[in-house]
């Protein structure tokens, strides 16, 4: 589904990604771990088309398409979704209208009819219940004044509504208490299916107790320095990253 080959990316002429290789197949769950500043968010943002990053080498294919040549909205319509580490606040645009626009655009791309207002509202409210969000949040501006946890839940809500083929979650678990963490995990697990793939960026094993990954990768210094199964995450939990990064140095 997603094939990343020798991906290099810069920001402001500073090399951040230095040759990423990754293969993600339908049905799989991948966890990406690694020290702060190692390039995890950069990788996620490059995959959804954030323009600040310059791709200097490499190739990314999503299904049969050249992902790096697609506009951000085309990627979203093709079924890629990123739950951002730091969701943006958009004053003046109500959450419900934003969700409406997003859902109808993505549906149109899939050849589905526009939902009428009532069906749409019902669907949104159902999903909100799933992530235990108060319906009041629909009528507030997107993320404006939301707490950290509320923003993360709003990301999961969008993910559940848009039903992406490939869901990327960038530290969606950070800063959440255990109840909120379970809600996020339940959301991700609800999305899990043989046709979908999930890539989780996380620092913590505790999320992986709820969402068991098929693969765990360690990203450090802009490269994947180790890959393994779920046991790698347990090892990292106990020993940190030192033994890996030192072994390379």
Residue with smaller CB distance to other proteins, 63 or 229:
63
Contact call for residue 111 and other proteins (CB under 8 A):
no
* Nearest distance, CB of residue 204 and other proteins, angstroms: 25
Exactly one of 52, 66, 126, 195 binds ligand ADP (CB under 6 A); that residue is 52
- In angstroms, the CA 186 to CA 35 distance is 26
Question: Where does the chain have alpha helices with state H?
Answer: 40-48, 72-78, 95-109, 117-130, 148-162, 178-191, 205-210, 230-239, 242-248
Four-residue CA torsion sign, 145, 148, 153, 157: positive
* Nearest distance, CB of residue 206 and Mg ion, angstroms: 17
Residue with smaller CB distance to Mg ion, 150 or 170:
170
Strand partners, 62: 2, 65
Binding mask 135-154 for other proteins (x = CB under 8 A): -------x------------
Residue with smaller CB distance to other proteins, 88 or 118:
88
Closest CA to 231 of 207, 211, 205, 197: 205
Residue found under tokens 């993505």? 106
Residue with smaller CB distance to Mg ion, 22 or 161:
22
The residues binding ligand ADP (CB under 6 A) are: 11-12, 16, 34, 36-42, 52
């Amino acid at each position: 589904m997603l094939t990343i080959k020798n991906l290099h990316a810069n920001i402001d002429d500073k090399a951040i990604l230095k040759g990423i290789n990754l293969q993600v197949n339908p049905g799989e769950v991948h966890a990406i771990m690694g020290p702060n500043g190692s390039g995890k968010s950069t990788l996620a943002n490059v995959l959804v088309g954030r323009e600040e990053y310059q791709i200097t080498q490499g190739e990314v294919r999503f299904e049969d398409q050249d992902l790096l040549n697609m506009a951000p909205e085309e990627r979203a319509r093709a079924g890629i979704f990123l739950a951002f580490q730091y969701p943006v606040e958009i004053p003046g645009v109500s959450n419900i209208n934003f969700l409406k626009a997003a859902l109808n655009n993505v549906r149109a791309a899939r050849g589905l009819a526009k939902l009428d207002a009532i069906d749409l509202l019902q669907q949104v409210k159902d999903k909100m219940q799933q992530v235990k969000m108060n319906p009041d949040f629909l009528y507030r501006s997107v993320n404006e004044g939301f707490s950290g946890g509320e923003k993360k839940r709003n990301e999961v809500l969008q993910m559940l509504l848009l039903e992406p083929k490939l869901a990327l979650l960038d530290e969606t678990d950070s800063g959440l208490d255990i109840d909120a963490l379970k809600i996020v995990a339940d959301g991700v697990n609800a999305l899990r299916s043989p046709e979908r793939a999930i890539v989780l960026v996380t620092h913590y094993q505790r999320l992986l107790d709820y969402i068991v990954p098929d693969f765990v990768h360690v990203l450090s210094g802009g490269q994947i320095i180790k890959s393994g199964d779920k046991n790698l995450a347990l090892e990292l939990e106990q020993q940190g990253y030192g033994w890996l990064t030192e072994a390379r140095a």
